[in-house]
């Protein structure tokens, strides 16, 4: 079985940073000017609004928001948990 740990002296990110966040019903405008955003819902239901449309995402649901797209994220009811990955736009 392959090892789950590495003996490398320095960390490797493969160009992606992961961020965990708890969302509420408040939704401010977000924009990542230089990075594409991959988001995945861990718990709850999330409303993603961009480009004039609303997308509802349940646990396991994923979306990619291209760099420089203004968007909002909020929990539909109560709170929702998401994980987001950011990658430099190409």
The 10s digit of each residue's pLDDT in 28-71 is: 899 988 989 899 999 999 999 988 899 999 999 999 999 999 99
Q: How far apart are alpha carbons 89 and 5 in whole angstroms?
A: 29
End-to-end CA distance of the chain: 36
Q: What is the pTM of this model?
A: 0.77
**Are 64 and 57 contacting, i.e. CB atoms less than 8 angstroms apart?**
no
- The CB density around residue 23, as the number of other CB atoms within 10 Å, is 21
DSSP summary character for residue 63: E
In whole angstroms, give the CA distance from residue 71 to residue 31. 6
Q: Copy the structure tokens of residue 37.
A: 């955003």
CATH superfamily of the domain spanning 26-88: Jelly Rolls (2.60.120.10)
């Amino acid at each position: 079985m392959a090892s789950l740990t590495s003996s490398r002296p320095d960390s490797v990110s493969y160009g992606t940073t992961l961020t965990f966040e708890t969302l509420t019903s408040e939704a401010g405008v977000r924009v990542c000017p230089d990075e594409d955003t991959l988001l995945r819902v861990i718990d709850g239901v999330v409303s993603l609004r961009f480009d004039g449309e609303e997308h509802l995402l349940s646990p396991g649901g994923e979306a990619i928001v291209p760099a420089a797209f203004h968007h909002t994220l909020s929990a539909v009811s109560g709170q929702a948990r998401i994980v987001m990955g950011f990658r430099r736009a190409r």
